Amino acid sequence: MKSTPARYGTVAVTVHWLSAVLILILMGTGFRISSLTDTEAKAALLQLHVPLGLAILALTLFRVGWWVLVDRKSTPLLATSRSQRIPATIVHVLFYVVTLGMAASGIGMMLLSGAGEVIFGGSTASLPDFRNYLPRVPHGIGARLIVAFLVLHVFATLSCRSALRFLVGRVWHQRFSLLQFEHLMARM
């Protein structure tokens, strides 16, 4: 369940991938909603976007609590130097802050606009224009920051993996050369 110094535990891995899937769906539905002009289609997508946004809020709070109170982060295999750890930690913390900010601004939009009644309450009033409400601004900025973090995260993970593969390859190659050398020596 918990992480060891060498690998992340099942809870951490499950929460990570669940959050990744939720964030991708939220980003996809969010950008789609803001590009639509048909308010019925917007409301239908918001019926998915809003509960998933609240789910990611709960999951992120659980995740922060899990790391602070229960589990200890394993040292990433290659990110052991300060120059790798500090930026990785900053990006992770910023990611949590922006995710929580997205949830807060989303809730702010819903409360200020009263759209909850239209989306979930069966009200026949028309869907409000969210651009008239201040939390729409940080929600839009946060969405773009999340895109940037996702690109950085995927890039950092891939370059870390290929560095690991390169190292394993070199160790394997050296062991193999050593075996060949010992084999040759034995025959002499």
Minimum distance of ligand HEM from residue 42's CB (angstroms): 6
Does residue 50 touch ligand HEM according to CB under 6 A?
yes
Which range touches ligand HEM (CB under 6 A), out of 63-71, 81-89, 104-112, 180-188? 104-112
Q: Smallest distance, Å, CB 87 to ligand HEM?
A: 22
Q: At what angle do helices 136-187 and 82-113 cross, to 10 degrees?
A: 150
Find the length of the chain: 188
As a dihedral over the C-alpha atoms of residue 68, residue 3, residue 73, residue 60, rounded to 10 degrees, the angle is -50
Cβ contact 85:79 at 8 Å: yes
Distance between CA atoms of residues 106 and 136, nearest Å = 8
Query: Closest distance between ligand HEM and the C-beta of residue 154, in Å?
Result: 16
Q: Return residues touching ligand HEM (CB under 6 A).
A: 23, 26-27, 30-31, 33-34, 42, 46, 49-50, 53-54, 56, 99, 102-103, 106-107, 109-110, 130, 139-140, 143, 146
